Amino acid sequence: MTKKGNTILFIIAATGFNIILTVLIFIAMFFLFFVFIKPFISDTYIVFVLPVIFIVSVFLSFAVYRILLRRFLKNVDMNKYFNTDFSFKHAKNKKITTGKTNPEA
């Protein structure tokens, strides 16, 4: 398989892993909330707590993902297996302008 193919598969697998991790953390926090905290608060506060649980689970999954990705990057030679050139073809052809309309003025 080519480097570009490995890169695409890695991005798809890493995205899938991050989504699954987010769902698992959300379910775990949801369960812990209803077992330990729900008996002590009224039902009206559940509406406010569920979005907080979701946001916290997204941030926790992102933190875990970053830690695991750093460990992966330490152990794997990225240049050997993956396409590390993330430049785009249309960006190379783009001309840089200085904002002046008349360069001699």
**pLDDT score of 71:** 93
**pLDDT score of 52:** 94
Cβ neighbours, 10 Å, residue 82: 18
Interatomic CA distance for residues 102 and 95, integer angstroms: 16
Q: Is the pTM of this model over 0.85?
A: no
Interatomic CA distance for residues 30 and 49, integer angstroms: 10
Could you say which residues of the chain have pLDDT below 50?
87-88, 90-92
**pLDDT score of 91:** 47
Locus of tokens 């152990």 = 75
